[in-house]
């Protein structure tokens, strides 16, 4: 393995699975129990906001109680010991920051924040939300929603992400099935920029062939091992 300078890491639900957060598309995943059209689209929210609030209240309660796992800690350690590491996460939990990651982009938003559709204010939020919750900034009632990106909405920070991908020399994708765009196309962007590309996942994802390298197993095993390898190479530079 050669030393790398600029490292971009894309994470998905598989990274948090061993912390007790369900993934989406595995057999027992969230989309086997809920219809994403009902709980994760602007149209679903418009037609039944109380149901969507109930879904995210449930998820927020889970997120409040969970702890980062060895994979989150390994990525925070990598950032601490190597300049030029950015984590882009599709996860709406707060486990990367709990583990100590600082250079972090929440491209699909954060379940622990609420957004007012009337004035655009986003605020930290740990309690339940309802159709009766007033906006703490403008006072509008019935306009608060979880600050997460739904299908059909533009993910956050896309310009910054494109810039990072065009400059990286190592792109690592961890615990994501590669079903959801634009995240699923980041590997192609990184390749076009000349980066080495690696997938760490429980099993080959649907985009596995797009990666130069694949390492398969539970995130709490493969991620710390891979980070250890990256940091040892750097030591002998
Ligand atoms: P998925 O549920 O689609 O994929 C999770 C991936 O993690 C699968 O490829 C699993 O094989 C893998 N996996 C499961 N357990 C693992 C473990 N212990 N260690 C390593 N890998 C493991 O989740 P995402 O790809 O993150 O968006 O889904 C992307 C987006 O689709 C989400 O952000 C969400 C969802 O719909 C929205 O809600 C807008
Ligand atoms: Zn407001």
Distance, CA of 49 to CA of 43 (rounded, Å): 10
CATH, residue 237: 3.40.50.1220
pLDDT at position 235, please?
Answer: 54
Check whether residue 142 and residue 218 sit in a common domain.
Answer: no
Q: What is the pTM of this model?
A: 0.97
Spacing, Cα 35 to ligand 2 middle (Å): 28
Check whether residue 90 and residue 126 sit in a common domain.
Answer: no
Cβ of 14 less than 6 Å from ligand 1? yes
pLDDT at position 2, please?
Answer: 75
Q: Which of 148, 172, 200 is the last residue of a domain?
A: 148
Distance, CA of 176 to CA of 15 (rounded, Å): 8
Check whether residue 228 and residue 191 sit in a common domain.
Answer: yes
- Residue 108 designated active-site: yes
Contact 19, 66 (CB under 8 A): yes
pLDDT at position 90, please?
Answer: 98
Q: Which ligand is nearest to the CA of 215?
A: 1
Cβ of 35 less than 6 Å from ligand 1? no
Check whether residue 55 and residue 128 sit in a common domain.
Answer: yes
Check whether residue 220 and residue 180 sit in a common domain.
Answer: yes
Domain count, the chain: 2
Check whether residue 115 and residue 216 sit in a common domain.
Answer: no
Q: How many C-beta atoms surround the C-beta of residue 77 within 10 A?
A: 18
Check whether residue 165 and residue 179 sit in a common domain.
Answer: yes
Task: Give pLDDT tens digits for 120-150.
Answer: 999 999 999 999 999 999 999 999 999 999 9
pLDDT at position 168, please?
Answer: 97
Check whether residue 202 and residue 216 sit in a common domain.
Answer: yes
| Nearest protein CA to atom 37 of ligand 1, as residue | 150
pLDDT at position 3, please?
Answer: 83
Tens-digit pLDDT string for the chain (237 aa): 778 999 999 999 999 999 999 999 999 999 999 999 999 999 999 999 999 999 999 999 999 999 999 999 999 999 999 999 999 999 999 999 999 999 999 999 999 999 999 999 999 999 999 999 999 999 999 999 999 999 999 999 999 999 999 999 999 999 999 999 999 999 999 999 999 999 999 999 999 999 999 999 999 999 999 999 999 986 554
pLDDT at position 233, please?
Answer: 84
Locate 36 and state its tokens. Answer: 């994403």
Locate 71 and state its tokens. Answer: 């994979």
Candidates 63, 108, 179, 196; catalytic one: 108
Check whether residue 41 and residue 95 sit in a common domain.
Answer: no
> 128 lies in which domain range?
23-65+110-148
Spacing, Cα 101 to ligand 2 middle (Å): 30
CATH, residue 57: 3.30.1600.10
Check whether residue 4 and residue 120 sit in a common domain.
Answer: no
Check whether residue 196 and residue 230 sit in a common domain.
Answer: yes
Locate 73 and state its tokens. Answer: 């800690």
Check whether residue 139 and residue 159 sit in a common domain.
Answer: no
Q: Which ligand is nearest to the CA of 143?
A: 2
Asked if the bond preceding 147 is cis, omega within 30° of 0, the reply is no
| Nearest protein CA to atom 32 of ligand 1, as residue | 90
């Amino acid at each position: 393995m050669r030393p790398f300078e600029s490292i971009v890491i894309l994470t998905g639900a598989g990274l948090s699975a061993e912390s007790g957060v369900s993934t989406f598309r595995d057999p027992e995943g969230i989309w086997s129990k809920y219809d994403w059209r009902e709980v994760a689209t602007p149209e679903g929210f418009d037609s039944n906001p109380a149901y969507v609030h109930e879904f995210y209240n449930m998820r927020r309660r889970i997120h409040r109680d969970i702890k980062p796992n060895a994979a989150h800690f390994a990525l925070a350690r990598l950032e601490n010991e190597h300049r030029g590491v950015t984590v882009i996460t599709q996860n709406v939990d707060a486990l990367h920051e709990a583990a100590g990651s600082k250079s972090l982009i929440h491209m699909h938003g954060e379940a622990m924040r609420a957004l007012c559709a009337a004035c655009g204010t986003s605020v930290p939020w740990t309690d339940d939300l309802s159709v009766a919750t007033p906006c703490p900034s403008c006072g509008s009632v019935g306009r608060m929603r979880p600050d997460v990106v739904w299908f059909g909405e533009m993910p956050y920070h896309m310009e910054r992400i494109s810039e990072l991908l065009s400059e990286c020399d190592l792109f690592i994708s961890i615990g994501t099935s590669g079903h959801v765009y634009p995240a699923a196309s980041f590997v192609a962007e990184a390749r076009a920029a000349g980066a080495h590309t690696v997938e760490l996942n429980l099993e080959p994802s649907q985009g596995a062939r797009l990666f130069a390298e694949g390492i398969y197993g539970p995130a709490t095993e493969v991620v710390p091992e891979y980070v250890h390898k990256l940091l040892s190479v750097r030591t002998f530079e």
